[in-house]
Structure 1
Amino acid sequence: MAVLKFRVYLEEDESIYRDIVIKHTQYFIDLHKTILQAYEFDNKHQATFYRSNDNWLRGREISLEKYDKVYQAPPLLMEETSIGSEIRDTNQKFIYVYDFNKNWVFLVELINVSKEESSKIAYPSVSRKEGVGPLQYGTRGLLGPKFAEMEEKYDLQGNEEGFGEEGDSDTASSDEESFTDDSSSGEDY
């Protein structure tokens, strides 16, 4: 049974992404729920996938439900459409839109196909998280639950006090060095 690995990233920032592994026999509803879980979004809003090409043009729609809008062709439904049935090539792309009011757009790209399943993984599963995802609703306080992760990720190694030399100009650091050299010679200022 084929296992597909998709990279799901924000349309406006490719450095923030989640890799999701899923069986080709599973359905788009499973991928939908896993994307929301990976980005810590709730499951309260409308959503749809579009089959896409290399230029990220929207093609056939695979929707959570049939919405009250005009369709060029009736949408496929996520609960009824297996992922494998919509894979046309080895680098298949989809566009995923969540919450039509906020218009969260994610680009979903097939990055790997494996023939071997792992008995240790419950599919679908998030296999990699890169970057701090966006907040679905507004902003969190400075000391929100992600603060410790961010602090740990950006902690400066080797500086016990947590202060780096970033932002110090070259002249300031050379003045400090000359002051240190002069003061070590025993001269008083």
Structure 2
Amino acid sequence: MAVLKFRAYYEEDDAIYRDIVIKHTQTFLDLHLAILKSYEFDSKHKATFYRSNDHWERGREISVDKYDKEYRAQPLLMAETTIGSEIRDPNQKFVYVYDFDKNWTFLVELINVTKEESSKITYPSVSRLEGIGPQQYGTRSLLGSKFVEIEEKYDLTKGSEGFGEEGEESNGSDDLIDDGEDHSEVVGED
């Protein structure tokens, strides 16, 4: 049974990607959920894959559901479409769009095919994570106990050393600026 390795790049930064291995008999729904999990996104929003080419142009749509929008051709459904059935090229590409309001876009490229599956791996599986992924809802969760840990580690309290009030004078030599000119006054010369 063939195992396919896809690289899912974040569209805005190709240094951020996830490699996902999946069986060719698994569905696009499985790949969709694996991509979301690898980027730590929830699965509450609409999503679709587009079969693509080397120029990342969007072709046939493979969707979670049929949505209220115009289609050139009726979309295939992720749950019913196996990945192997849509591989036309050894470097097959797909454009994956998640959450149509936010328009999260990932470029998904087939990078490897192996004939043997590993009994140690549950497919689909993330085999490599590169870069810090985008945050689905803004900032990464620095709330609660994690924020307290950071606050304690870096002592972010108001009176911490090195943090004064705006406009406070400093008695140190930090305030002297060396602009290369002599600012000393010559006294006693007329």
* Residue aligned with 2:31, SS: helix
How far residue 141 of structure 1 moved from its aligned partner, in angstroms, is 5.8
Give the alignment's TM-score, normalised by structure 1.
0.75
1:41 match: 41
How far residue 84 of structure 1 moved from its aligned partner, in angstroms, is 0.2
1:11 aligns with 2:20: no
1:133 aligns with 2:133: yes
1:54 match: 54
Give the alignment's TM-score, normalised by structure 2.
0.74
* Residue aligned with 1:59, SS: coil
2:112 match: 112
Q: For residues 1-189 of structure 1, what are the structure 2 equivalents within 5 Å?
A: 1-140=1-140
* Residue aligned with 1:79, SS: helix
* Residue aligned with 2:37, SS: helix
* Residue aligned with 1:69, SS: coil
Is the alpha carbon distance of 1:145 and 1:90 closer, same or farther for their aligned partners in structure 2, counting shifts above 3 Å?
Answer: farther
2: distance between equivalents of 1:64 and 1:35?
14
Q: Percent identity?
A: 78
2: distance between equivalents of 1:146 and 1:58?
41
The superposition leaves residues 15-40 of structure 1 with CA deviations (integer Å, 9 ceiling, x where unpaired) of 00000000000000000000000000
2: distance between equivalents of 1:132 and 1:146?
18
1: distance between equivalents of 2:44 and 2:143?
26
* Residue aligned with 2:72, SS: coil
How far residue 140 of structure 1 moved from its aligned partner, in angstroms, is 3.1
How far residue 60 of structure 1 moved from its aligned partner, in angstroms, is 0.1
The superposition leaves residues 80-113 of structure 1 with CA deviations (integer Å, 9 ceiling, x where unpaired) of 0000000001000000000000000000000000
* Residue aligned with 1:29, SS: helix
Structure 1: 5+ residue stretches without partners: 148-189
2: distance between equivalents of 1:105 and 1:64?
15
Give the AA of the match of 1:99.
D
How far residue 53 of structure 1 moved from its aligned partner, in angstroms, is 0.2
Give the number of equivalent residue pairs: 147
Give the AA of the match of 2:59.
G
Is the alpha carbon distance of 1:78 and 1:37 closer, same or farther for their aligned partners in structure 2, counting shifts above 3 Å?
Answer: same
